[in-house]
Structure 1
Amino acid sequence: MKEYLYNQLSRVLFILLLLSFFASCASKQLTIIAHRGASGYLPEHTLESAALAHSFGVDYIEPDIVLTRDSVPVILHNIHLDQTTNVARLFPRRKRVDGRYYVIDFTLDEIKKLSAMDSIDPKTQKLSYPPRFPYGKSQFRVPTLVEFIELIQGLNKTRGTNIGIYPELKAPEFHMSEGKDIAKIVLPVLEKYGYNQASANIFLQCFHPPTLRRMREDLGAKMPMVALLAENSWKESSVDYEYYKSRKGLEEISQYAQGVGPWLGQLVDKAGKPNGLVKNAHALGLKVHPYTHRSDNLPLGFKTDQEFFKFLKNSLEVDGIFSDFSDRAKLYR
């Protein structure tokens, strides 16, 4: 009898160990964020790109948010139109003295007349990633934030999924200088669609950490937040990113945000070894979601997706990754 009980107990313990092992493996899976939708396959930030990313079964889909002249949140990568639309052809006289076309100078009706295309360098007119979707082919439009949200929530319903959104507030200081508070305008939209909750399937991100703090402390934002980290030379905002990469800066971020989104190059030293930023962030309870994985332009000198993701998981030990090729990212998560 004792031998029988011992054998049964051994079997139970073995099963529990297996379950624990598989649970541990599952917990180590990276969170996959579709960077500007399925931007490796279709023009970024279009509804078609978002729908394709949704079909990949990613965890989150990213929309970047800027404001029109009539204060409508639209989905575009930056405050300019000439990088991803045919604005120069349709409105040649609407550029500013710096030669750029600003979203905030156009109404929604005007922006809806534009065709969305793959990204180009406005100065050279060369494609950012030539092997991708043929430039100027087919027909794509610039979506609004509401259109994006309703697409994702509609697909979640019809496909029986719960894919989240990962919106970025673009250039809040610029918008404020133009008389528009993008934080105050976007937050009610997110709240209307159920995203202003601590448990909501969303991360709200921004390259200007003080804006996130203001939203948390003054505007009533309850959703999870991620402070994006850039290099000071990029001039993403007026803040000192060297400070925010430091332990003290990360401690400040941890007071109002749940994670940080660094550039991959900020996570390694000159020898390509982890530099401690991830370790410091984790010690403060912050998730780390770096950017960006591109299978056609792998970062950090890697030659294959498999090698890159092995480094992400085993050496850097990050929690997630922004990817232009989120279907491939899922294979190695």
Structure 2
Amino acid sequence: MAPVIEKPLAARVQVIAHRGASAWLPEHTLAAYARAIADGADFIEPDLVMTRDGVLVARHENEISGTTDVAMHAEFAARRTVKHIDGVEVAGWFVEDFTLAELKVLRARERLPGLRGVRHDGLYPIATLDEIVALAACESAARGRVVGLIPEIKHGTYFRDIGLPMEDALLDALATDAYMRAAPVEIQSFERGNLRYLDGERRRRGMANVRLLQLIGEPHEQPYDVAAAGGTLNYAEMTTPRNLRGIAGYADAIGPPARMVVPLAPDGGLAAPGTLVRDAHAAGLEVHAYTFRPENAFLPPALRAGDDARRNEAGSLAEIRACLAAGMDAFFTDDPAVGRKAVDEA
């Protein structure tokens, strides 16, 4: 029997630049976002954390030793410390211990140097949310097409607990910018409580262009706000049909790992799609899968060709197209040019 092809809910499948064109340039830099837009991304994604003086900046994590040259700055040596972030002990330097002016002294570094090299290290500063919004507006005007923003609130409970809540700051920034009041925006979080809060606030403020994305972690993991409150709900339970209907009460989409859309087969290839997309669509939720990367190291074993560090566009296209056939509505990719090709030539 031929497999059933699930159709997306979205009128047009969206290509999301995961931290910019991060297969080519250090992630979360203005250069990476600009290339992503040039390569055809529909949305650019800043992961948001907050400085000591309350400025939203783009970093994958609040610990920045792996993505900046902070360890090379003797003036900041005493800031190295150990913290517990979402229940995990982490050592290093943390955004919330720096003012924006101090962070602007630092320069970005490649997070995966073994795969992607270091030729761009030291060239780009940390970008603020305001700078990213200005870039999106400028590029949209220059290219004659709308560029959306899909920010992720990182470690929402942690930042709230240290007196730096990000949710209202993000909504305020969106509401005061002319471009962002009309452009498509989708706010993401792996937590649930802040999305419920944001849902109420977007309705109260009349922010009709703002959608919400409930990110889904690995099945055994929990949203940290649930774990911190002593709850037992994990992501596997969140993806049951009943709980998907609950998510649809406050969010517009879910963001699962790609392997929850199309699992691995025993031979290392791709198996038939699971039921997640169908179940999410039945609940009225779009599915925005993550993260498609063009290097062999990240591909299903049967799609690899050559060593782990080698780019494998054909393998990446095959993986994306399998998930497109499963009905996903949008997807995060480190290489938006490959993602654009997968959609446009499907």
The reply to whether TM is greater than 0.5 is yes
Tell me the SS of whatever aligns to 1:92: helix
Cα distance in structure 1, aligned partners of 2:52 and 2:239: 34
Cα distance in structure 2, aligned partners of 1:138 and 1:53: 20
- TM-aligned CA deviation for residue 30 of structure 1: 3.0
**Partner deviation per Cα, 1:82-108 (whole Å, 9 max, x = no partner):** 120011221222112352211111110
Q: Aligned runs of 1:93-108 on 2, under 5 Å?
A: 93-97=78-82, 98-108=90-100
- Does the CA contact (< 8 Å) of 2:222 and 2:235 recur in 1? no
In the other structure, the counterpart of 2:337 is: 327
Tell me the SS of whatever aligns to 1:157: helix
- TM-aligned CA deviation for residue 155 of structure 1: 1.2
Cα distance in structure 2, aligned partners of 1:103 and 1:236: 22
In the other structure, the counterpart of 1:294 is: 293
- TM-aligned CA deviation for residue 305 of structure 1: 2.4
In the other structure, the counterpart of 1:237 is: 224
Cα distance in structure 1, aligned partners of 2:186 and 2:49: 17
* 1:310 and 2:293 correspond: no
- Does the CA contact (< 8 Å) of 1:117 and 1:135 recur in 2? no
- Does the CA contact (< 8 Å) of 2:317 and 2:338 recur in 1? no
In the other structure, the counterpart of 1:168 is: 152
In the other structure, the counterpart of 1:84 is: 67
In the other structure, the counterpart of 2:268 is: none
Structure 1 unaligned segments of length 5 or more: list them. Answer: 1-23, 120-127
- TM-aligned CA deviation for residue 37 of structure 1: 0.4
Q: 1:327 to 1:71 in 2, by over 3 A?
A: same
- TM-aligned CA deviation for residue 256 of structure 1: 1.6
Structure 2 unaligned segments of length 5 or more: list them. Answer: 1-6, 83-89, 227-233, 266-270, 305-314
Cα distance in structure 1, aligned partners of 2:294 and 2:79: 36
In the other structure, the counterpart of 2:230 is: none
Q: Aligned runs of 1:114-129 on 2, under 5 Å?
A: 114-119=106-111, 128=112
- TM-aligned CA deviation for residue 196 of structure 1: 7.0
Tell me the SS of whatever aligns to 1:93: helix
Q: Aligned runs of 1:220-235 on 2, under 5 Å?
A: 220=204, 222=207, 223-231=210-218
Paired letter, 1:118: E
User: How many residue pairs align between the two structures?
Assistant: 299
In the other structure, the counterpart of 1:11 is: none
In the other structure, the counterpart of 1:177 is: 161
Paired letter, 1:53: A
Paired letter, 1:112: K
TM-score, normalization: structure 2? Answer: 0.80
Two-structure CA RMSD over aligned residues (Å): 2.3
Tell me the SS of whatever aligns to 1:179: coil
In the other structure, the counterpart of 1:145 is: 129
Q: Aligned runs of 1:254-265 on 2, under 5 Å?
A: 254-265=248-259
- TM-aligned CA deviation for residue 299 of structure 1: 3.4
- TM-aligned CA deviation for residue 68 of structure 1: 0.3
In the other structure, the counterpart of 1:70 is: 53
Q: 1:261 to 1:218 in 2, by over 3 A?
A: same
- TM-aligned CA deviation for residue 209 of structure 1: 2.1
In the other structure, the counterpart of 1:284 is: 283
- Does the CA contact (< 8 Å) of 2:43 and 2:150 recur in 1? yes
In the other structure, the counterpart of 2:18 is: 35
Cα distance in structure 2, aligned partners of 1:34 and 1:79: 20
Cα distance in structure 2, aligned partners of 1:129 and 1:245: 35
Cα distance in structure 2, aligned partners of 1:276 and 1:129: 36
- TM-aligned CA deviation for residue 159 of structure 1: 2.0
Cα distance in structure 2, aligned partners of 1:236 and 1:83: 24
- TM-aligned CA deviation for residue 247 of structure 1: 1.6
Q: 1:37 to 1:196 in 2, by over 3 A?
A: closer
Cα distance in structure 2, aligned partners of 1:129 and 1:311: 29
Q: Aligned runs of 1:189-268 on 2, under 5 Å?
A: 189-194=173-178, 200-218=183-201, 220=204, 222=207, 223-231=210-218, 237-239=224-226, 240-268=234-262
- Overall identity of the aligned pairs, in %: 31
Tell me the SS of whatever aligns to 2:81: coil
TM-score, normalization: structure 1? Answer: 0.83
In the other structure, the counterpart of 2:31 is: 48
Q: Which has the higher strand share?
A: 2
Tell me the SS of whatever aligns to 1:332: helix
Paired letter, 2:212: M
- TM-aligned CA deviation for residue 33 of structure 1: 0.3
Cα distance in structure 1, aligned partners of 2:107 and 2:151: 22
Q: 1:86 to 1:191 in 2, by over 3 A?
A: same
**Partner deviation per Cα, 1:142-172 (whole Å, 9 max, x = no partner):** 0100001001101111222211111111110
